[in-house]
């Protein structure tokens, strides 16, 4: 009772003070995990009220923050450089409008204006036992975009204001907000202050609210255009005769015009960024579904895929000798060569855009297809100067049009010494340069041995697999088990399969229609659909010690029929955190089937060194037992 009387008395004093001049209310968010706010936080939101005008800004006490978290010094400076947007909000109760104003990194000022109402229908007000900063509160509830919003507010302060402007507000001073039951901001102090007049400045330019928020949300994004509306189709190569003559920032068409190639300048560091690749594709003269691939060409070893694309041809690169008696150049990494690493594998639909004149009742065709994929796991390969290629297999001039963009979004990504190790890539990117289809799996496995310079903690194999053979008995339309081995041990099995292809009928105007009501693009396939991206499968490898490691993939590829044959496009790269040493008791994790896949691992996957140590220890125990019996 005594506490309530004291709080009420404090509230009356504060209300009296508020009525005499400007008021400053400081808010903070709860600590992680929903814990209380405690002392004045380093990052706070400040509401200044002067009469019928309010200003909402953010304050950051850098010294306090660094005292609490000294390890954030570098990160804090990096975030300042990446975001560099100063935003302030204003409320004008006389005009019943609220404003957002922002200064962007280039100094441009933008602002927006929206109207609001006070206690309009849809705002429910109820009593509350809460006392915040000495003020007795009521609670108002409304619903915005399916989210339940609560405002704890008081009408004892003699002023009106809120830190969360919205279309429908309570009358009074909002001291706490919550969204779907989680507290957002809570007042930690209410005090008198001096405020300049007028509190709300004039705004030279107003934009609509959607554009305003879009500009702010994307202010820190780095957009790197790679290819812009480039044709992919049969034509002579326009690249110079040797790799040394290639120039940066020039688009080359190689391998009969079906590969676009460009050396681009990316951000110097990719750490701390979420990176997305976006492809926009249209068919011009090619009505068929085709394999597409966006890839990075590693150049850190003696030889690279560039040599095959420019001048030397496929014979200049190491080959995989299969049991069918054929050699397949450029598809496995070796000591002096790394395969291209796929950023994205996509499949063009049947004739989008170029064949939209075909009419099917009930269908409205898309005009272009956008393939948008997170490629942050390959961040170490997406920094500095990089060779990037884009491939669409086809057999006509100007078969497709392609645009490729990379976007770097701040504040995310993976930390630590991330590493990418290319292992294999059997996609016949140089189909028009004489590269055979990878049709050897019936009598063989795809095998690749790589050398790991330093241990990799939490290693994964990023595995892309799609089956092809476009007739009833082909692997494209029949489920086949993929099995992966590491250093002779089976670690992963999966049946890669897509059953959602009929969801994308509107992307496939030239798809063949059958007399049972289905269309070719509707049919389920071996991990791909016309007009979609194929997602990678992440195979857990555990902690991988330094040294040589051999991967093998087996698939029971179907037999050919007449001139038709099956083949599998496979690519794999190791990702993880490079470390100087692994713990002495490090062991691999149990290999699990991917979520939603058919099949599971038949055995645990331990790194080779750990398995060898286990065998050695077991042998020593057996020898010790024999000695004890003597």
pLDDT at 36 over 80: no
Q: Is residue 621, in this structure, part of any structural domain at all?
A: no
339 plus 475 within the same structural domain = yes
pLDDT at 367 over 80: yes
367 plus 493 within the same structural domain = yes
Q: What is the DSSP string of 441-492?
A: TTS--EEEEEEESS-EEEEEEEEEEEEE--STTSGGGS---EEEEETTEEEE
Q: Is residue 491, in this structure, part of any structural domain at all?
A: yes
> Contact 508/617 with Cβ under 8 angstroms?
no
Residue 31, Cβ density class (10 Å: 0-12 exposed, 13-18 middle, ≥19 buried): exposed
State the pLDDT confidence band at 457, using cuts at 50, 70 and 90. very high
For the CA atoms of the chain, what is the radius of gyration?
A: 31
502 plus 393 within the same structural domain = yes
pLDDT tens readout for residues 71-95? 777 766 666 666 678 899 999 999 9
The answer for residues whose C-beta is within 8 angstroms of residue 221's C-beta and 6 or more apart is: 407, 408, 409, 410
User: Reduced to 3 states, what is the DSSP secondary structure of residue 268?
Assistant: coil
Question: Which has more confidence, 138 or 80?
Answer: 138
449 φ, ψ to 5°?
-115, 130
Which H or E run includes 142? strand 135-144
Question: Which has more confidence, 446 or 623?
Answer: 446
User: Reduced to 3 states, what is the DSSP secondary structure of residue 116?
Assistant: coil
How many CB atoms sit inside 10 A of residue 445's CB? 16
346 plus 408 within the same structural domain = yes
> Contact 278/370 with Cβ under 8 angstroms?
yes
Q: Is residue 500, in this structure, part of any structural domain at all?
A: yes
Q: How far apart are CA 386 and CA 275, in angstroms?
A: 15
Among 217, 246, 275, identify where a domain stops: 217
145 plus 248 within the same structural domain = no
Q: Is residue 334, in this structure, part of any structural domain at all?
A: yes
Which of 45-54, 421-430, 573-582, 621-630 is the least confident region?
621-630
State the pLDDT confidence band at 406, using cuts at 50, 70 and 90. very high
128 plus 70 within the same structural domain = yes
* Percent share of the chain, pLDDT over 90: 78
Query: Can you give the residue range of the structural domain that contains 194?
Result: 2-217
Average pLDDT (340-367) is 99
Domain count, the chain: 2
Question: Which has more confidence, 203 or 557?
Answer: 557
Q: Is residue 620, in this structure, part of any structural domain at all?
A: no
- Cα four-point dihedral sign 393, 394, 397, 403: negative
pLDDT at 337 over 50: yes
pLDDT tens readout for residues 214-262? 999 999 999 999 999 999 999 999 999 999 999 999 999 999 999 999 9
State the pLDDT confidence band at 417, using cuts at 50, 70 and 90. very high
> Contact 326/437 with Cβ under 8 angstroms?
no
Q: How far apart are CA 479 and CA 539, in angstroms?
A: 19
Highest mean pLDDT among 53-62, 104-113, 481-490: 481-490
Q: What is the pLDDT at residue 4?
A: 37
Residue corresponding to tokens 């669409």: 392
Average pLDDT (148-174) is 95
204 plus 233 within the same structural domain = no
Q: What is the pLDDT at residue 561?
A: 98
Residue corresponding to tokens 């190791």: 574
What the block records as the tokens of 365 is 């065709």
413 φ, ψ to 5°?
75, -175
pLDDT tens readout for residues 288-318? 999 999 999 999 999 999 999 998 899 999 9
Among 202, 217, 232, identify where a domain stops: 217
Q: Which residues pair with 22 in a beta bridge?
A: 193
Q: What is the pLDDT at residue 43?
A: 82
580 plus 599 within the same structural domain = yes
Q: What is the pLDDT at residue 85?
A: 85
Average pLDDT (17-38) is 69
Q: Is residue 359, in this structure, part of any structural domain at all?
A: yes
> Contact 233/399 with Cβ under 8 angstroms?
yes
pLDDT at 212 over 50: yes
Nearest of 305, 295, 310 to residue 255 by alpha carbon: 310
What's the chain's average pLDDT? 89
Buried b (16+ CB within 10 A) or exposed e, 465-492: bbbbbeeeebbbbbebebbbbbbebbbb
Among 217, 249, 276, identify where a domain stops: 217
Q: Is residue 626, in this structure, part of any structural domain at all?
A: no
Q: Is residue 276, in this structure, part of any structural domain at all?
A: yes
Q: Looking at residue 326, which CATH number applies to its domain?
A: 2.60.120.230
Q: What share of the chain is helix, strand, coil (3-state, %, to 5)?
A: 15, 40, 40
610 plus 545 within the same structural domain = yes
Q: What is the pLDDT at residue 82?
A: 64
Average pLDDT (207-214) is 96
> Contact 90/77 with Cβ under 8 angstroms?
no
Q: What is the pLDDT at residue 71?
A: 74
Q: Looking at residue 176, which CATH number applies to its domain?
A: 2.50.20
202 plus 238 within the same structural domain = no
pLDDT at 134 over 80: yes
Q: How far apart are CA 479 and CA 276, in angstroms?
A: 31
266 plus 245 within the same structural domain = yes
> Contact 568/557 with Cβ under 8 angstroms?
yes
Q: What 3 state SS string does 172-240 have?
A: CEEEEEEECCEEEEEEEEEEEECCCCCCCCCCCCECCHHHHHHHHHCCCCEEEEEEEEEEECCCCCCCC
Which of 187-191, 197-201, 512-516, 537-541 is the least confident region?
197-201
pLDDT tens readout for residues 563-615? 999 999 999 999 999 999 998 755 444 444 333 333 333 333 344 444 444 44
143 plus 94 within the same structural domain = yes
Q: Which residues pair with 569 in a beta bridge?
A: 466
């Amino acid at each position: 009772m005594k506490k309530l009387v004291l709080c009420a008395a404090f509230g009356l004093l504060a209300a009296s003070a508020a009525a005499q001049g400007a008021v400053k209310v400081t808010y903070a968010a709860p600590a992680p995990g929903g814990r209380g706010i405690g002392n004045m936080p380093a990052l706070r939101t400040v509401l200044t009220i002067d009469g019928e005008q309010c200003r909402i800004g953010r304050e950051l006490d850098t010294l306090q923050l660094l005292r609490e978290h000294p390890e954030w010094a570098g990160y804090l400076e990096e975030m300042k450089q990446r975001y560099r947007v100063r935003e302030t909000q204003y409320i004008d109760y006389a005009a019943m409008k609220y404003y957002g104003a922002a200064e962007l990194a280039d100094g441009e000022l933008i602002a927006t204006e929206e109207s609001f109402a006070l206690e309009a229908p849809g705002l429910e007000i109820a009593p509350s036992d809460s006392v915040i900063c000495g003020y007795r509160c009521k609670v108002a509830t409304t619903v915005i975009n399916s989210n339940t919003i609560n405002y704890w507010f008081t009408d004892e302060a003699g002023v009106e204001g809120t830190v969360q402007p919205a279309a429908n507000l309570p009358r009074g001073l909002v001291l706490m907000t919550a969204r779907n039951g989680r507290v957002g901001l809570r007042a930690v102090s209410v005090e008198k202050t001096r405020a300049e007049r007028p509190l709300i400045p004039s705004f030279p330019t107003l934009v609509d609210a959607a554009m305003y928020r879009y500009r702010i949300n994307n202010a820190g994004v780095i957009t790197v255009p790679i290819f812009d509306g480039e044709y992919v189709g049969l034509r002579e190569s326009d690249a110079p005769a040797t790799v040394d003559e290639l120039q940066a920032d020039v688009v080359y068409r190689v391998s009969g015009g079906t590969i676009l190639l460009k050396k681009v300048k990316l951000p110097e560091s990719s750490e701390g960024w979420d990176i997305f690749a976006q492809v926009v594709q249209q068919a011009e003269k090619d009505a068929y579904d085709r394999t597409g691939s966006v890839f990075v060409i590693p150049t850190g070893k003696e030889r690279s895929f560039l040599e095959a694309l420019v001048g030397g041809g496929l014979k200049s690169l190491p080959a995989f000798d299969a049991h069918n008696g054929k050699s397949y150049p450029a598809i496995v990494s070796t000591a002096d060569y790394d395969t291209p690493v796929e950023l994205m594998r996509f499949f063009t639909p049947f004739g989008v855009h170029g064949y939209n004149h075909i009419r099917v009742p009930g269908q409205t065709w898309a005009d272009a297809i956008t393939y948008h994929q997170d490629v942050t796991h390959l961040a170490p390969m997406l920094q500095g100067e990089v060779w990037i290629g884009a491939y669409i297999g086809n057999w006509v001039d100007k078969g497709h049009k392609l645009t490729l963009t990379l976007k770097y979004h701040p504040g995310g990504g993976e930390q630590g010494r991330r590493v990418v190790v290319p292992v294999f890539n059997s996609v016949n990117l140089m189909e028009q340069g004489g590269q055979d289809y990878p049709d050897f799996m019936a009598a063989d496995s795809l095998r690749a041995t790589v050398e790991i310079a330093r241990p990799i903690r939490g290693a994964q194999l990023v595995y892309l697999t799609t089956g092809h053979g476009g007739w009833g008995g082909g692997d494209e339309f029949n489920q086949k088990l993929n099995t992966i081995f590491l250093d002779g041990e089976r670690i992963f099995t999966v049946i890669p399969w897509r059953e959602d292809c009929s969801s994308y009928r509107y992307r496939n105007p030239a798809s063949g229609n059958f007399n049972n009501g289905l269309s070719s693009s509707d049919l389920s396939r071996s991990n791909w659909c016309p007009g979609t991206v194929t997602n990678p499968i992440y195979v857990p490898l555990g902690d991988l010690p330094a040294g040589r490691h051999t991967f093998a993939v087996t698939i029971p590829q179907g037999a050919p029929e007449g001139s038709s044959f099956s083949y599998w496009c496979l690519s794999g790269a190791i990702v993880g955190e490079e470390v100087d040493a692994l713990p002495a008791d490090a062991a691999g994790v149990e290999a699990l089937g991917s979520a939603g896949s058919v099949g599971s691992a038949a055995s645990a996957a331990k790194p080779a060194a750990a398995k060898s140590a286990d065998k050695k220890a077991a042998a020593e125990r057996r020898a010790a037992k024999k000695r004890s019996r003597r």
